[in-house]
């Protein structure tokens, strides 16, 4: 179901129309919130427009069939974005939401269209409940929050600020207590839009904290140019080639083979220096997610698994995605038995060599990269976690309970100490 609102001007008083969600069958709708509040109203507000972008129109969609119908436009918009990313594509967002959270939250997509009806912006969001002390709060966040990196609102080039100016008021009129925006690029359009709306408001508290940086790679140079710039890597690679002269990289880059690649990846991850904590090896749910999304992404070689081996020895594996002209180095693992041979550095370099010789023009090492990769980067994307919290009755109840819960926690700790001393 969709509700539309034209963008009627800067700092307008927001009008509101509510429509009930269709997702109310057993097992789909979240539990009612405090004081009878529920997650199913789909509300949209009249939103503000940037100078020169009058006529943009926002639509809030909560019906999954309608959202499915956005697939082609969604991905076309993603490719038109200033910084296209695989993590904002339809397949990736929907698989992450469906596998990790589909039964616990409501999916909400805000679209932004120009006066000709063209899609120029899209915000895939979800609303869910979580317990906070003695009460529950409603959280608004990106639809995909697991196995993703630096999410945001999709916007076509030259429309980024206008789209954010449209999305923020539309999201504001949804029912939520806290809006969380993790790993937000510090120099992007989100930060000024959020600060302009919430930074000086008595009705909201805006907080932010640094959340790391993502490293970028220039893949327009040749392999020889890159190789010549990194003496340490040259030495390590020559040593590796002497010790493993018959090493090969196996490719699992199409829908029919990517599942076998994931099996090998998981076997290596289970023998890595942090088994059970990386990618598909974290849980059965994580494996289910990759089984869901990778065949779709592997169409036309957009995603796949690469495995470094020497004979029958499986040394390392890597999941890499390609979207637009950017390669996303998602996650690499290696067998701890080969740790003395710098397998992480070697394998990442060998995979890079393939992309230097392709049409890919840029690489993204993502937030949370290994520090040894910093020497290879051509720039960084600094990010911050933004949190907007409403100052409503529920928030005041949360504040009242805090000292009570703290005192109870101290009392339990003191009681445990006394019992241990007896």
Tell me: do 203 and 245 sit in the same domain.
no
Tell me: do 127 and 250 sit in the same domain.
no
Tell me: do 202 and 350 sit in the same domain.
no
Q: What does the DSSP 8-state code read for residue 219?
A: -
Cα–Cα distance, 133 to 223 (Å, whole number): 55
Task: Enumerate residues 6+ apart whose C-beta is below 8 A from 418.
Answer: none
Tell me: do 259 and 208 sit in the same domain.
no
Tell me: do 256 and 204 sit in the same domain.
no
Q: Is residue 412 part of a domain?
A: no
pLDDT of res. 169? 92
Dihedral pair phi/psi, residue 32, rounded to 5°: -60, 145
Tell me: do 98 and 38 sit in the same domain.
yes
The CATH number assigned to the domain holding 177 equals 3.40.630
Asked whether 308 and 247 are in contact (CB, 8 A), the reply is yes
Q: Is residue 368 part of a domain?
A: no
Residues of the chain whose pLDDT is less than 50?
A: 4-53
- In DSSP terms, 142 is beta-bridged to 125
Tell me: do 330 and 355 sit in the same domain.
yes
Burial 290-308 (b: 16+ CB within 10 A, else e): beebbbbbbeeebbbbbbb
Question: Which among 222, 164, 227, 224 has a CA at the least distance from the CA of 197?
Answer: 164
Asked whether 390 and 204 are in contact (CB, 8 A), the reply is yes
Tell me: do 122 and 225 sit in the same domain.
no
Cα–Cα distance, 105 to 138 (Å, whole number): 10
Q: Is residue 117 part of a domain?
A: yes
pLDDT of res. 281? 84
3-state secondary structure of 135: strand
Tell me: do 184 and 256 sit in the same domain.
no
Question: Which among 165, 317, 202, 312 has a CA at the least distance from the CA of 251?
Answer: 317
**Number of other residues whose CB lies within 10 A of the CB of residue 16:** 12
Q: How many domains does the chain have?
A: 2
Burial 391-418 (b: 16+ CB within 10 A, else e): eeebbebbeeeeeeeeeeeeeeeeeeee
Q: Is residue 323 part of a domain?
A: yes
Tell me: do 201 and 331 sit in the same domain.
no
**What is the radius of gyration, based on Cα positions, of the chain?**
24
Q: Is residue 250 part of a domain?
A: yes
Q: Is residue 189 part of a domain?
A: yes
For residue range 81-109, list pLDDT tens digits in order: 988 999 999 999 999 999 998 778 999 99
Q: Is residue 270 part of a domain?
A: yes
- In DSSP terms, 144 is beta-bridged to none
Tell me the percentage of the chain whose pLDDT exceeds 70: 81
For residue range 246-285, list pLDDT tens digits in order: 999 999 999 999 999 999 999 999 999 777 777 788 899 9
The CATH number assigned to the domain holding 269 equals 3.40.630.30
Tell me: do 343 and 276 sit in the same domain.
yes
Q: Is residue 92 part of a domain?
A: yes
Tell me: do 329 and 235 sit in the same domain.
yes
Cα–Cα distance, 68 to 107 (Å, whole number): 12
Host domain of residue 12: 2-212+383-391
Q: At what angle do helices 284-297 and 90-100 cross, to 10 degrees?
A: 160
Cα–Cα distance, 74 to 118 (Å, whole number): 11
pLDDT of res. 357? 81
């Amino acid at each position: 179901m969709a509700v539309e609102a034209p963008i009627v001007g800067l700092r307008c008083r927001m009008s509101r129309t509510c429509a009930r969600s269709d997702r109310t069958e057993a097992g789909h709708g979240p539990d009612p919130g405090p004081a009878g509040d529920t997650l199913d109203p789909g509300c949209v507000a009249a939103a503000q427009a940037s100078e020169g972008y009058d006529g943009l129109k926002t639509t809030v969609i909560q019906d999954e069939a309608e959202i499915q119908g956005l697939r082609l436009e969604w991905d076309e918009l993603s490719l038109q974005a200033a910084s296209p990313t695989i993590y904002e594509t339809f397949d990736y967002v929907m698989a992450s939401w469906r596998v990790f959270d589909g039964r616990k939250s409501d999916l909400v997509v805000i679209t932004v269209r120009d006066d000709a009806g063209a899609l120029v912006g899209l915000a895939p969001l979800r609303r869910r409940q979580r317990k906070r002390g003695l009460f529950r709060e409603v959280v608004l966040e990106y639809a995909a929050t697991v196995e993703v990196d630096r999410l945001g609102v999709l916007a076509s080039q030259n429309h980024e600020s206008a789209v954010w100016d449209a999305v923020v008021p539309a999201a504001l009129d949804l029912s939520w207590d806290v809006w969380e925006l993790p790993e937000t690029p510090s120099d992007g359009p989100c930060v000024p839009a959020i600060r302009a709306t919430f930074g000086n408001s008595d009705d909201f508290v805006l907080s932010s904290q640094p959340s790391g940086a993502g490293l970028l790679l220039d893949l327009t140079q040749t392999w020889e140019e890159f190789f010549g710039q990194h003496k340490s890597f040259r030495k390590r690679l020559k040593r590796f080639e002497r010790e493993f002269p018959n090493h090969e990289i196996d490719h699992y880059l199409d829908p029919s083979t990517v599942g076998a690649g994931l099996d090998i990846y998981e076997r290596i991850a289970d023998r890595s220096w942090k088994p059970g904590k990386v990618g598909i090896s974290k849980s059965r749910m994580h494996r289910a997610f990759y089984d869901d999304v990778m065949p779709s992404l592997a169409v036309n070689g957009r995603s796949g698994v690469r495995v470094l081996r020497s004979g029958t020895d499986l040394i390392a594996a890597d999941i890499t995605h390609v979207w637009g002209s950017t390669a996303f180095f998602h996650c690499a693992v290696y067998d701890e038995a080969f740790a003395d041979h710098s397998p992480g550095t070697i394998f990442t370099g060998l995979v890079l060599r393939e992309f230097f010789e392709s049409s890919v023009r840029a690489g993204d090492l993502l937030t949370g990269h290994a520090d040894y990769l910093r020497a290879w980067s051509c720039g960084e994307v600094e990010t911050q976690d933004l949190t907007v919290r409403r100052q409503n009755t529920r928030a005041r109840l949360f504040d009242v309970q805090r000292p009570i819960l703290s005192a109870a926690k101290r009392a339990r700790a003191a009681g445990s100490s006394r019992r241990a001393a007896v």
